[in-house]
A and B are shown apart, each in its own frame.
Chain A
Amino acid sequence: MAAAGASGGQTIGRSSFSRVAVSTAASSSTSAGVKLGPNGAAFVSSGIPDLDRILGGGFLLGSVVMVMEDSDAPHHLLLLRSFMAQGVVHKQPLLFAGPMKEPRLFLGTLPAPVASSKEDGRQRVMGAGTSSDGRTSDEALRIAWQYKKYFGEDKTSHAEHKNNKQEFSNDFDLRKSLERHLLNSQNIECVSTQDGDTLGELQDRCSTFLSKHLRKDGGNLNAGRIAIQSLCAPQCGYFEKDWDMVSFIRSLKAMVRSSNVVAVITFPNAILSNSFCKRWHHLADTLLSIKAIPDEDKDLAKLLTGYQDMVGFLHVHKVAQTNSQVPVILEASTFSLKLRKRRSLVLERLNQAPVDGSAGPSHAASGSCSSSSQGSQLDF
């Protein structure tokens, strides 16, 4: 998507054609789990193939990704776990910090990748279009209002994903936990943010971690990952030291920028003051927010198809762009977060449910009215 946006925006750019040639030539020398993009960008997978696609390739190496947490539900952990598990699967070094006594215990909750041999084989036989069980059964029922689901380009990108999935991104089974030997053999560091009164320790750990992954010219791209859970949580010792936290993020960002590391930080934005929240937003390279949806919201259930499978909404506020000023314009910024077969995460664009056929034209009009107002409500 970034590539498409870039080529669209750079109709007047002079050197955009040579860039592609360079990146394809260089792609042979990258290590597993790293994908090269335009403008000298390198991506690692977020652990959710759909999110990678939405963000135009994945999380940008050298960027800080921030996720705003929902105050009521721990859905941000889905993103964080996928991100960490993907790193473990790719044998990339990982630094995890969380506001808990034993952060290492959190590693036990990481999901395992879907056994690719069986699943993939079966899906290949069935064809690229029938990737999920929902789609298989819906295949015969193509109805005009859902046509976006069946766009040709979507299918091809999906098929493309299937082909290089082994290297770049995996589907994760949220019901199975990652095998122990993977966790033990890794160089995984854990820091508790609960004990210290200052961010000093975390900062030191981050800088030693980052100093191992400094970006070298023409060197190999060995990516590392930093995952920080609930950075400004009340149980942290440095809670309410607002300036300390912003300075920490700023210095982390500066260090990350010169290394091959992606840092993902989740934070409960509700407890930050408005102006500090905006500061955090500005410091983020990629800014996402997660919102849970209430179980029994009848109005919403009527408006959106597949409401019963949704666990939340993902909103994309900002997409990282380095070395370029062409903004990434997404087709949609709000996506529904669903659990496919109750185990793997998928992101889908919101689909409006059809208005009841029996309701008549007047009802239909009111339905579309309410949907537009609903849209603004979803626009958190």
Chain B
Amino acid sequence: MEEYGGGNLLSEAMGSGPRVVVVEDCVEAPAAFVLHLLLKRALAGGGAVALLALAQPFSHYDRVLRKMGCNLSLHRKNGRLHFFDLQAFPGGPKGGAICDAFFRLYGDIQRVVDANRIAEHAGQFTVMIDDVSLLEVAAHGSIDDVLDFLHYCVTLTSEMNCSLVVLIHEDIYSSERVGLLLHLRYIADLVIRAAPLSTGLATDVHGQVSSFPLLVALANIMMRVGVLHL
């Protein structure tokens, strides 16, 4: 991981083993790469991952992670990666209530987590959502259903000893509907935020990543992890 500059900075931030990690980004500085790093980290540590992919198809993640030295197809075959292709979520016939779709989805995740717990050498289980803003679109703007779903996922972390990683596009919520973002920040143990450099583009530095461990943030200390080189 060290060869990917920033990887060790990220692991420093992840050092305390946060349960809920919220990754925030904006149009100018997409933070999908943070998810890739965390995905690799979760799988490399011997754990299992349930990836709720709303933004990209499997081939994309597979290709990106293969370049980072992590074979997703293999992990998927071994049952360590549970890939939920939710690009067409909720799908099916129109008119079915969205909360039912969320309920079914949660049931699937819970089953996977359960199975992982029973398995012999069970490591840490991570539920990863890419991204929540699209979950909201899938729910047709019904923020309550999304919050309910997220709440269930958070309960998983305490009951089943797993962690939750969530990507959210922060700039959508800058003016309206701040509820979802505030809620996520509230439940987060660690917030990682990608932002463009205020000085504009540079050839090798594309932005900065800051992380706010919220346990510490209670004491009102904000820790900047540093500029991350891709």
Residues of chain A touching chain B, judged by Cβ–Cβ distance below 8 Å, are 9-10, 12-16, 39-40, 242-243, 246-247, 250-251, 253-254, 257-258, 273-275, 278-279, 281-282, 287, 317-318, 322-327, 329-330, 333
Contact = CB atoms under 8 A, between A and B. Distances in A.
Given A325-B33, A326-B230, 18 more contacts: A10-B67, A12-B4, A15-B66, A250-B137, A257-B57, A273-B176, A275-B174, A278-B27, A278-B169, A278-B172, A279-B137, A279-B169, A322-B60, A324-B64, A325-B36, A327-B230, A329-B206, A330-B201
Contacts of A325: 32-33, 36, 64, 230
Contacts of B69: 14
11 contacts: A275-B173, A275-B176, A275-B177, A278-B169, A282-B27, A323-B63, A325-B33, A327-B30, A327-B230, A329-B203, A329-B206
Contact of A257 (B64, B67, B87, B137): B87
Contacts of A13: 67
B63 A9 contact: no
A274 B174 contact: yes
Contacts of B206: 327, 329
Nearest to B54: A250
Interface string B140-151: 110000000000
B220 interface: no
B137 A324 contact: no
Contacts of A253: 87
Given A325-B33, A329-B201, A279 B133 contact: yes
A86 to B, nearest CB: 26
A14 B3 CA distance: 12
A16 B68 CA distance: 11
Interface string B85-96: 001100000000
Interface of B: 3-4, 27-28, 30, 32-33, 36, 56-57, 59-60, 63-64, 66-67, 69, 87-88, 133-134, 137-138, 140-141, 169, 171-177, 201, 203, 206, 230
Closest 3 CB pairs of A and B: A254-B87, A323-B63, A243-B141
B27 A317 contact: yes
B175 A275 contact: yes
A137 B83 CA distance: 60
A270 to B, nearest CB: 15
Contact of A282 (B63, B88, B138, B169): B169
Given A12-B4, A254-B87, A274-B175, A323 B137 contact: no
A279 B175 CA distance: 13
Contacts of A326: 230
Nearest to A250: B137
Contacts of A242: 141
Contacts of B66: 15
Choose among A14, A16, A274, A325 the residue with the greatest number of B CB atoms under 10 Å from its CB.
A325
B172 A282 contact: yes
B174 A281 contact: no
Contacts of B177: 275
Contacts of A254: 87-88
A282 B56 CA distance: 12
A1 to B, nearest CB: 13
B17 to A, nearest CB: 25
B27 A287 contact: yes
Contact of B3 (A12, A39, A282, A330): A12
Choose among A10, A39, A258, A275 the residue with the greatest number of B CB atoms under 10 Å from its CB.
A275
Contacts of B67: 10, 13-16, 324
B140 A282 contact: no
Contacts of B133: 279, 282
Given A9-B230, A39-B63, A250 B134 contact: yes
A16 to B, nearest CB: 8
